[in-house]
Amino acid sequence: MGGFSAEHLNKFKKLYPEKFAEPEKAFKEIHRGDRIFIGTGCGEPVYLVEKLIEFVQKFPKAFFDAEVLHIWTLGVAPYTDQKFKRNFRHNAFFIGSNTRDAVNKGLADYTPIFLSQVPYLFRNRIIPIDVALIQLSMPDEHGYMSYGISVDVVKSAAESADLVIAQVNKHMPRVHGDSFIHIEDVDYIIHHDEKLLTYESSPSDEVCKRIGKYVSKLVENGSTIQVGYGSLPDAILKSLEEKKDLGVHTELMSDGIVDLMEKGVITNEKKSIHRGKTVAS
C-alpha cells in the first residue's frame, strides 16, 4: 500500500505544489496567541511536534502565548517544559502521565470536559482552533486521506481550524467510516514516515480482577458497552467472556474489545443503532 499511495502523493505534489513545504515554512503561519490543536493519543503527529519545538528554539520570538490544546498526550510533550513557558501554555482536556507534573506545578492548565461536547465547542467556535497539527494516511487517487486510528475530536478540530498542517505517514492506516479529509482542505502537507505510537496497558492486579467480576454481573446479555483504557477496564472486559451478543459504541477500541470480538462475545446484533457494527472513534 505504501508504494501505491506514494505514487498518488507525487501526483498531488504536482497539482498542489504550494501545499507541500518544509515544516519551518508552515510554522511561520502561526501567530502570537494562537490556539494550537495537536492530534490525539497514538495519532499524535510526533514529527510535527518535534519540528515545532525546533522552530521555536531557532526563532524564540516567532510567537508568544500560544495555547496548546492536546486531548490525550501519549507521546512527546516538550511544550510543557518551563523553558518554553513564554511560547506555549498547555491546556489539557485529559491529564496524561507526561503532562500531570506540569499541571500540578501550575505550568499547564486542565479543563474538565465531556469528550462528546468537544466537537460542538470546536464547530461553533466556542473554543476556536487557529492551527491544527494532525497526522493522516497517504492520499488515495482522489485526494482523500484518512484520520486513521484517531478520528475522535481530530476531525472536528481540522474542519474548524483556520490553518491545518498535516503529517502524512504510510504507517497510518485508512479506516472506513466518516474518517476522511480531502487534500484541498489541508493547508500544508509534510510527508514523514514513522511508526505510530502505541499504548501499553499495565497488567490487571487482583483488586482490578475482583472489581471486573463484580461489574460483569451488572452487564446483561445484549448490552451495548462503552469502555475506557487501563488495567481496570481491561479486567472488566476479561470478565465479560461468558456474555452473549454484546454491542460496542465507544471512544477507544482496546485490545480487550478485539479479544471479545474474536471470541464471538461481541456481535452487535442486539444494538438499536448501527446494528451489526462496532463503532469507535
Beta strand pairing call for 180-182 and 144-146: antiparallel
Dihedral of the CA atoms 175, 23, 61, 161 (nearest 10)? -30
251 assigned to active site: yes
CB contact at 8 A, 27 and 62: yes
55: helix, strand or coil: helix
- Grid coordinates 472486559 are at which residue? 237
- Report how far residue 4's alpha carbon sits from residue 141's, in angstroms, rounded to the nearest whole number: 9
Return the C-alpha cell found at 75: 507521546
Q: Which of 50, 241, 251, 269 is catalytic?
A: 251
DSSP state of 197: P
Residues 27 and 269: their CA atoms lie apart, in Å, by: 48
In order of 25, 166, 234, the CA distances from 3 in angstroms are: 27, 19, 37
Cβ contact 84:56 at 8 Å: yes
* Residues labelled catalytic: 251
